[in-house]
Structure 1
């Protein structure tokens, strides 16, 4: 209960709400009738006070348009009140980097509910009173949590839900003027469109994010993950080369660690993430040389990073490229595909499922080959697992 509210009751300028009365009765140890008597007595004292009398002719007095000092004091106290303290807020804020760090170990099935609970808690706090500084931090936290929930929903193939979370994240980021968070959200919008097969929309979403801050390091992700990959699917080789080149140029202007950052991170892409996405962009173009060049560049970083998904995705990109080249290497490609499925057997995400499905489709060119039959059986066994069915989903869930 806010102290200023209690002061108003004591002063007789306000009365408790009906739902507040049982608690007051319990705390004071009085009956409801005794509470009514106390409140009536307080109100009577206030109305009998000479200071509380309204002048018969209010326009005549020189002080009638001024605030009451006691009332002003209460309002001053209210301006400083907050239903959340720094310690509680820091605890909530610290959950964001912890979720990001644990995501690739625990996955969206386990961590999604954690994010949703934290988001609801922040929304509950936002219904109360805070100082402007605290409210800014709460809005930023609400935007980050909604963004994380949106990204996880994409990984689960729940695209309609992801879009709503992203709308909320974008609203919060816009409200506080956080351009980097806005750009990140547009990148997640783009990711969802890409995995729904709407590559033109994926390109456009990334472009809207870039328009906010073309020189921001967040534009590296938008260029290579959002635009280059979409253009690759659209068969635009020149567009892919331009987007990858712009991302590399932008990377040179910022001091960013070359290590592989967590996929869920709000941090900008370093070279490892850039190169891995560039490789993916060149896969549908059949440019095996470029795919192997970029995956070779990040092989060490990917193997050293604690990221099973990245290891699986890089292997699937290489496997697909090996089947698209003029002289397909079926044995090596299927070995990589099988290894990718093994790596993500227990905690798959939509992107791994989708690329494995693409590799399966390409392999049907050699449907009579025993190696293809064996790989198909591996995939069918994997696809039958409940956690894999969860991420397979429908196109608009």
Structure 2
């Protein structure tokens, strides 16, 4: 038995085990794949969480010997050798160093260096990025977009290393945010955070305040996924100030407000949550086209389901249920449309059933969400269901809820 088998035997998700040990979920994944080993202090906490001694833990963490049938960690290590994402991050760190140096050079020297390359025009990269965002939105399995984004990042990094153009740097920051979205959707929080941090740095170099604010908003989502609401609120406070210096024709500041509402709900502040939602609702006053469909997509279309989710977090189940059921009736959330959005609303309605101790409601909405997770291979919906699974508690004695829990674990 390996570490992953022991975790599953105990009924733990990677996220739940990570919370018990005090690490990121991706760290647990790397332990299970054999790519890294726990530090001494982590080993003690991990052993305690698994209910075993340190010697037993050593056995679980030891790589399979020759002749053993479980070769998954070895295969995983080979497939991840020379992680291309890590190489891309190093290239972009180099870009930051180059762009910083160029700003310190006299204009004539900087111009000579930045006109030395002819690897594509910034507007070409901007168009390609916009296309990739559309592909990402339409893809049922977000991870399928990863290879194309990775290749485009490599091409962009080579072009940007030879030029110092605000427009080109903005294209870099744009695509880094998309790379982060792909990583986040596949539960690679550390990779997502790294991408968003780089995107924020490049946006600062480009003087692109809206891009910069959006990178911080996306970084805040990583904190929210880990229930670090204070850290998310701090990021969003800065994002709001940056958005105030951006283009008032864009919906950036309204998106910031929408995500602030989520942070305030996590902190239990209903009044602040309502004020933030009201600021987000003002997006409807903007002219069409305020969300460009790429790195900024907030047009208020999801506000009803988001408001419902905030009410769930705050324990206002009466308000939450009416709002979420209304959201399900929207054409954009009809069966066969947005799997991710519909799955998220169904998970929230199942969560309301948990709080009301209503196994029938939990099973009905939860089973529908499982079907969507399976049909779309969406890690986001699966992650929402794992959270639901951790909330079930004593309701798991009901045969309908027990069946749902088994299906969620199987995901």
Shorter-chain TM-score category? 0.5 to 0.7
Whether 1:237 and 2:266 are equivalent positions in the alignment is no
Q: Which blocks of at least 5 consecutive residues in structure 1 are unaligned? A: 1-74, 383-397
Change (3 A) 1:267 1:370: same
- Contact kept, 8 Å, 1:279 with 1:295, in 2: the verdict is yes
Please give the alpha-carbon distance, in whole angstroms, between the structure 2 residues aligned to 1:90 and 1:265: 14
Counterparts of 2:114 and 2:406, CA distance in 1: 66
* Structure 1 residue 277 corresponds to structure 2 residue 306: yes
State how far apart, in whole Å, the 1-side matches of 2:175 and 2:275 are.
33
2: CA distance between counterparts of 1:77 and 1:164?
32
Match of 1:267 among 296, 306, 331: 296
Q: CA deviation at 1:379?
A: 1.2
What is the aligned counterpart of 1:117 among 142, 151, 165?
A: 151
> What is aligned with 2:119?
84
Paired position in structure 2 for 1:291: 320
Corresponding residue to 1:102 among 135, 149, 167 = 135
TM-score by length of 2: 0.65
- Work out whether residues 373 and 379 of structure 2, in 8 Å CA contact, stay in contact via their aligned partners in 1: no
Determine the C-alpha separation between the residues in 2 that align with 1:301 and 1:203.
Answer: 32
Aligned pairs for 1:151-300 within 5 A: 151-214=181-244, 217-224=251-258, 226-248=259-281, 250-256=282-288, 265-299=294-328, 300=330
Cα shift at 1:297: 4.0
Q: Does 1:138 align with 2:140?
A: no
Q: Partner residue of 1:317?
A: 348
1:307 counterpart = 2:342: no
Q: What's the offset of the Cα at 1:167?
A: 1.9
Cα distance between partner residues in 2 of 1:333 and 1:127: 53
- Match for residue 342 of structure 1 among 362, 366, 371: 371
In the alignment, what sits opposite 2:20? Answer: none
Deviation readout 1:291-331 (Å, 9 max, x if unpaired): 23332443314325842111100111122123324xx4321
**Given the alignment, which residue of 382, 397, 401 partners 1:368?**
397
The alignment covers a number of residue pairs equal to: 295
SS of aligned partner of 1:345: helix
Is the Cα contact below 8 Å between 2:166 and 2:207 reproduced in 1? no
Deviation at 1:347, TM superposition (A): 4.2
Query: Greater Rg, structure 1 or structure 2?
Result: 1
Summarize deviations over 1:16-69 as a string: whole Å, max 9, x none.
Answer: xxxxxxxxxxxxxxxxxxxxxxxxxxxxxxxxxxxxxxxxxxxxxxxxxxxxxx
Cα deviation 1:225-254 (Å, max 9, x = unaligned): x22112222222222112112222x32431
Tell me by how many angstroms 1:340 deviates: 0.9
Shift of 1:381: 1.8
The Cα shift of 1:136 comes to: 2.7
Residue of structure 2 aligned with 1:126, choices 160, 181, 193: 160
Residue deviations 1:136-170 (CA, integer Å, cap 9, x gap)? 33211111111111122222222222222112211
Q: Pick closer, same or farther for the CA change 1:332–1:210 going to 2, 3 Å.
A: same
Q: Any idea what SS the aligned residue of 1:272 has?
A: coil
The Cα offsets for residues 153-200 of structure 1, whole Å up to 9 and x where unpaired, read as: 222222222222112211221122211111111110100111122111
Match of residue 93, structure 1, among 106, 111, 126: 126
Query: What secondary structure, in the 3-state scheme, does the structure 2 residue paired with 1:283 have?
Result: helix
**For the residues of structure 2 that align with 1:294 and 1:256, how far apart are their CA atoms?**
25
CA separation of 1:353 and 1:233: change in aligned 2, threshold 3 A = farther
Secondary structure of 2:296's counterpart equals: coil
Q: Does the 8 Å CA contact 1:287/1:321 hold for their aligned counterparts?
A: no
2:80 maps to which residue?
none
**Is the Cα contact below 8 Å between 1:115 and 1:145 reproduced in 2?**
yes
